[in-house]
Amino acid sequence: MAMEKKTSAISGLYKMDRGKRIEEVASFSGMPPAQQKTLRSDTPLEFSVADKITENVLGFHSLPFSVATNFIVNGREVLVPMAIEEPSVVAAASNGAKLCRDSGGFSATSDPPVMIGQIQIMVKEGKAAAEKLNSKKAEILAAAEPFAENISKYGGGIRGFAARHVQSKRGDIAIAEFQIDVRDSMGANTINTILEGIAPKLAEISGGKVRLRILTNLAITRLVRATAIWKKETIGEDAVEGVLDGWAFADADIFRAATHNKGIMNGIDAVAVATGNDWRAVEAGAHAYAAMGGRYAPLTRFRKLPNGDLQGEIELPLSVGTIGGATRSLPTAQSALAITGAKSSGELSCIMAAVGLSQNFAALKALSGEGIQRGHMGLHAKNIAIAAGAKGADIDRIAELMAKEKNISTARAQELLAGKN
The residues annotated as belonging to the active site are: 86, 262, 278, 376
Kindly tell me the burial class for residue 19, based on how many C-beta atoms sit within 10 Å of its own C-beta (0-12, 13-18, 19 or more).
exposed
Spatial separation of the C-alpha atoms in residues 90 and 372, rounded to whole Å: 14
318, 285 in Cβ contact below 8 A? yes
363 scored as a contact of ligand MEV (CB under 6 A): yes
Q: Minimum distance from CB of 260 to ligand MEV (Å)?
A: 5
Three-state secondary structure call for residue 14: helix
Q: How many CA atoms lie within 13 A of 150 on its CB side?
A: 12
Residue 79: beta bridge partners? Answer: none
Distances (CA, A) of 378 to 61, 78, 270: 25, 27, 21
Q: Minimum distance from CB of 253 to ligand MEV (Å)?
A: 12
Q: Minimum distance from CB of 259 to ligand MEV (Å)?
A: 4
Spatial separation of the C-alpha atoms in residues 93 and 265, rounded to whole Å: 11
374 scored as a contact of ligand MEV (CB under 6 A): no
Three-state secondary structure call for residue 406: coil
84 scored as a contact of ligand MEV (CB under 6 A): no
Nearer to ligand MEV by Cβ, of 10 and 265: the residue is 265
Candidates 260, 365, 380, 382; binder of ligand MEV (CB under 6 A) is 260
Q: Minimum distance from CB of 75 to ligand MEV (Å)?
A: 28
Spatial separation of the C-alpha atoms in residues 218 and 108, rounded to whole Å: 20
Count the residues of the shown chain that bind ligand MEV, applying the rule CB under 6 A: 9
262 scored as a contact of ligand MEV (CB under 6 A): yes
Nearer to ligand MEV by Cβ, of 88 and 340: the residue is 88
Candidates 62, 135, 167, 259; binder of ligand MEV (CB under 6 A) is 259
From 104-112, 260-268, 274-282, 391-399, give the range in contact with ligand MEV by CB under 6 A: 260-268
Across the beta sheet with 310-317, what order do the strands follow? 76-83, 65-73, 106-110, 223-230, 310-317, 300-304
Binding mask 99-118 for ligand MEV (x = CB under 6 A): --------------------
Candidates 50, 372, 379, 386; binder of ligand MEV (CB under 6 A) is 372
367 scored as a contact of ligand MEV (CB under 6 A): yes
Rule CB under 6 A: which residues touch ligand MEV?
86, 259-260, 262-263, 266, 363, 367, 372
